[in-house]
Amino acid sequence: MRNIALPVLLAASVGLVSCGSAPEEPIEQIIVSEPGGAAAGVKQAAATAPAADDLVSQGKAAFAVCAACHSIEAGAAAGPGPNLNGVIGRKAGTAEGFGFTDAMKASGVTWTEAELDSFMTDPAAKVAGTSMTAGAVNDPEARKAITAYLASLTQ
């Protein structure tokens, strides 16, 4: 499952980065020489972090799918899709600096966690005529994590 595989991949890539420029050394040797280093720390976090923080960090990783089109930092320019910072609680189609479809503007949706979950499940079913034609998320756990991540960014 993606929400389990991503932290493991992240742990692996952080481990590789922390190896510096010695690709010929065996990985075991590097880990043993840095028992409290970044690689060990991240692996442990992925296995044992408390549920709420873990969900947000899983959501942050899973948001990579959305980041192809959506910026997320406050005030960042819109891309192919609108900036999603603070989207929870916002009326659909009202983010500044983005040309929404009439369908989105007239949807009457205010983005709660439940509305977001339903939109991610099938954007066109939720808002008929939306120009968001990619980015559906089939895995309910991944949707939950992405929603938790977006909610964590709402002031």
Q: How far is the CB of 52 from ligand HEC (least distance, A)?
A: 19
Q: How far is the CB of 138 from ligand HEC (least distance, A)?
A: 10
Rg of the chain (C-alpha set): 19
- Chain positions 39 to 98 lying near ligand HEC, rule: CB under 6 A, are 65-66, 68-70, 80-82, 84, 87, 90, 92-93, 95
User: Any contact of residue 148 with ligand HEC (CB under 6 A)?
Assistant: no
The residue behind tokens 């942050």 is 60
- Dist. CA 88–CA 56, nearest whole Å: 14
Q: How far is the CB of 92 from ligand HEC (least distance, A)?
A: 4
Of 116, 145, 151, 153, which lies in the binding site for ligand HEC, with binding defined by CB under 6 A?
A: 116
Nearer to ligand HEC, 42 or 104 (CB): 104
List CB contacts of 58: < 8 A, sequence separation 6 or more. Answer: 3, 6, 7, 142, 145, 149
33 three-state secondary structure: helix
List CB contacts of 31: < 8 A, sequence separation 6 or more. Answer: 15, 37, 39, 40
Nearer to ligand HEC, 39 or 132 (CB): 132
Per DSSP, the residues of 26-49 read: -HHHHHHH-TTSHHHHHHHHHHH-
Q: How far is the CB of 20 from ligand HEC (least distance, A)?
A: 34
Which residues bind to ligand HEC, rule: CB under 6 A?
65-66, 68-70, 80-82, 84, 87, 90, 92-93, 95, 100-101, 103-104, 111, 116, 119-120, 130-132, 134-135, 137, 146
